[in-house]
Structure 1
């Protein structure tokens, strides 16, 4: 008898202290989707010990971190298209507007992810940059309510503008209402004394907190809340307190800093270079490159603070215990790798972004997975986690099995630009240009994506071409 009691106590203690303890079912889960613009996986919890990201790291401690999450396009618009539709789409930033135009013409289009949740009883709200245009509207200043980026998707799609006047002003705004008109007249980076609200993301976060409170108070209806944080998108502006955090911090050397030889998807970093750089080029000025990297890091920490505010409010309302939380970077960003400062390539640095998923009743928290997955998989995964039917039209797959067993295998990941497609496997990346030219990189080698080995591995090229064609058909 005493022996049974002893083992019973051990069992209870194990449930209390194990990372795999599961809470009780408390009804239909809510969804909180946090989208962060231009966020490469340079976070403390993803191995970058020199980065201050305590709030995202805390979420990682309570969820599963996907270390090999690849976006389907290296630009904001088409990447968000795949996230929000669960389908491959056009490669341009106007991808969602092209979809909306077809709907307006009467073409039957499969529901978007927020529309699918709305059809199944969810209140859907977006705040900030969730689709390509912050607030989800078009027009000269991106505030025309007659031009909707994702029709039928949101009960509310909100974009506070504060002193930046309109969503266009918010998107590339700097401190205290500075709006970008000509990029050459705006500094590429900046740090100004003041609180979080002196930059646009402060207003976005404040609105998100208001909406979260309202949504959480309605316990009769689950919610799907998407919040889009703009930083660390260009220009790199953040309150000075975040810049000061990196004083004296040593950054690692830039990996593979040389422009690649031969034909690749390299570009000349026009988006970055068009800003005022005081005549300096980070590819030839190491001190300037270091400053750029630190300002990017300051923006990451500023974005992390916004994530902390949102998650704190979710917990304060009590909704956290019954909410699926997804943190997603819309693509990566080169900080000098391959002599690129920006995204828009089909190299690893443009396509690899952080993703963290936490959900009620999850068994193993604080784990990391190296399974290769795509942004395309988020739509079916969220349906699976909340108990909705996974629609047959989505082209991704549910990641629930990986969330339950993070050491299981993922699947090859596809990405594309207008002139090329790429496929990433556990060992290689193949990129096929529109004219038929092939890049093949061996990720098991030290050279990784600096040496094209396509000519030496003709059989593997044909095999990977077949895999790529099978996935896109």
Structure 2
């Protein structure tokens, strides 16, 4: 406005007096018109949420690791390179269904009621979920791929999800539920799910409404069946072994050392052995899953135990990473579509998994433990309007934080209360001073699958403290700075006496905060509900809070 006034004075000196009024009026009118214009409201962003099943940080080259040069993931890496890569996104219950339920609701298992996979019931489809809120507030919504919650999805205008084997789905020629109707498709599921997603984008691109698209791959979940073109991808090389491959579980014999998820528990099906001719019914099932129970070890004749163990690992890791290769290819297809259709700048692309996974780390496959490889989720976000390319974040985030963050990114308000917190400020590079410095973890499923003791604990950026409680009473403490591989349980190290007391105090506070301060007997009942009691419990057993209080008193 100051410049316009100066211009008016200058013009008044250059033109006759009679014309000043008219000229000034015109200029003032123009200047007022310019100054009164309001900026157009920013268009709401589109969101593509991509989640693979059992995809772990170790398998993504953006995170580094021993496979980064042998099995790179350039398309997944592009999301990180063009956006923000997160290093400390943590799962509050490291198993597929419960993690998905927490992501959808923004709440812990004790509030959403979905604690376990095996016979864990069905997800309560009367609960609020973030897709329903997006749909309610004008977003076009869709779901393609894996659902795995035992219910029909709600909050989606269109869905097409795996609907065989308890919604686990098949890699080849899968059956999908398409808007309520089962449809058998021909082909490889990772490619098919992407094809359905891209077709939906293409067929609805004339709409002016923003969209939320959820694309959830079955891969790289067990039984790790690669696309045909990748079956022999690394046939002539040996994959490297993780540093903890030969973990002997010293000091952790009753926890990490007492599971059914080591290299000895792969089945005939896992190892892709040719099925003998003529097997049917029970005999066929017995052969297929032989190796998954104690005492059943699958390996070629003539191999030593060590040779067999390495052979099983090499078979497993090559199949797993080949499945990841297809996930990466299809992430590339989605990114290419966005670029070709001028959707890049206004589309948020998120890539994650339902938890981490073991790739021979500690001699394991699968997940479940509070240990780092299963606790940490891959997570990256690309959004050119907000996020600086190549950004990295190392703050603690939990999967219950996803729902409020997605709503916040879209500018959607809700009266529904969630336990999670939006981390949009972190995406902008501004970590609030009061941001969470610890997360509460709780795993309930036992003994199936894989015989991992139920446990709860706390994870800070420096320490992991866990209590294994079902039919044992074992505490574990790890100093993540000194022992990042978590090989040394230092719970009885006197030099950590004050650390243990402080962590137990924090753990108690978090259990109260998240409304899960039950007794051990009540926690065990959650497990017993689906599997039957394995050990008799004592009546009048103290609560977890009482135990923590007594431990603190002992420490002091």
- Same fold at TM > 0.5: yes
1:30 to 31, 36, 46: 46
Deviation at 1:325, TM superposition (A): 1.3
What stretches of structure 2 of length at least 5 have no aligned partner? 1-39, 177-184, 274-297, 300-304, 445-453, 516-556
User: Could you tell me which residue of structure 2 aligns to residue 217 of structure 1?
Assistant: 206
RMSD (CA atoms): 3.0
With 376-385 and 248-257 compared, the bigger mean Cα shift is at 248-257
Quick one: distance in 2 between partners of 1:309 and 1:427? 39
Whether 1:168 and 2:165 are equivalent positions in the alignment is yes
Deviation at 1:316, TM superposition (A): 2.6
Give the 5 Å matches for 1:131-146.
131-133=147-149, 138=150
Quick one: distance in 2 between partners of 1:413 and 1:331? 15
Quick one: distance in 2 between partners of 1:320 and 1:26? 15
Quick one: distance in 2 between partners of 1:300 and 1:444? 30
User: Could you tell me which residue of structure 2 aligns to residue 54 of structure 1?
Assistant: 74
Quick one: distance in 2 between partners of 1:432 and 1:247? 42
User: Could you tell me which residue of structure 2 aligns to residue 186 of structure 1?
Assistant: none
User: Could you tell me which residue of structure 1 aligns to residue 259 of structure 2?
Assistant: 267
> Is the Cα–Cα contact under 8 Å of residues 441 and 448 in structure 1 kept in the other structure?
no
Whether 1:230 and 2:254 are equivalent positions in the alignment is no
Whether 1:468 and 2:468 are equivalent positions in the alignment is no
Whether 1:92 and 2:120 are equivalent positions in the alignment is no
User: Could you tell me which residue of structure 1 aligns to residue 8 of structure 2?
Assistant: none
- Is the partner of 2:492 in helix, strand or coil? helix
Deviation at 1:288, TM superposition (A): 3.0
Per-residue CA distance 1:139-175 (angstroms, 9 max, x = gap): xxxxxxxx52x4x42222213x7xxxx5439845344
Deviation at 1:239, TM superposition (A): 2.2
1:253 to 241, 264, 281: 241
Quick one: distance in 2 between partners of 1:406 and 1:66? 14
User: Could you tell me which residue of structure 1 aligns to residue 554 of structure 2?
Assistant: none
> Is the Cα–Cα contact under 8 Å of residues 171 and 190 in structure 2 kept in the other structure?
no
Per-residue CA distance 1:378-422 (angstroms, 9 max, x = gap): 111112212112655111221112111178876323322112112
User: Could you tell me which residue of structure 1 aligns to residue 420 of structure 2?
Assistant: 396
Q: How many residues align?
A: 405
Quick one: distance in 1 between partners of 2:206 and 2:307? 52
Whether 1:308 and 2:332 are equivalent positions in the alignment is yes
Q: In structure 2, do the counterparts of structure 1 residues 272 and 425 end up closer, same or farther at CA, with 3 Å as the change threshold?
A: same
Quick one: distance in 2 between partners of 1:167 and 1:462? 48
How high is the TM-score relative to the length of structure 2? 0.67
User: Could you tell me which residue of structure 2 aligns to residue 414 of structure 1?
Assistant: 440
Deviation at 1:59, TM superposition (A): 1.3
Quick one: distance in 2 between partners of 1:289 and 1:443? 26
- Is the partner of 2:226 in helix, strand or coil? strand
- Is the partner of 2:115 in helix, strand or coil? coil
Quick one: distance in 2 between partners of 1:43 and 1:406? 26
2:102 to 82, 101, 105: 82
> Is the Cα–Cα contact under 8 Å of residues 368 and 406 in structure 1 kept in the other structure?
no
Q: In structure 2, do the counterparts of structure 1 residues 59 and 339 end up closer, same or farther at CA, with 3 Å as the change threshold?
A: same
Structure scoring higher RCO (CA < 8 A, sep ≥ 6) equals 1
With 62-71 and 309-318 compared, the bigger mean Cα shift is at 309-318
Per-residue CA distance 1:57-83 (angstroms, 9 max, x = gap): 111111101112111221110010111
The structure that has the greater radius of gyration is 2
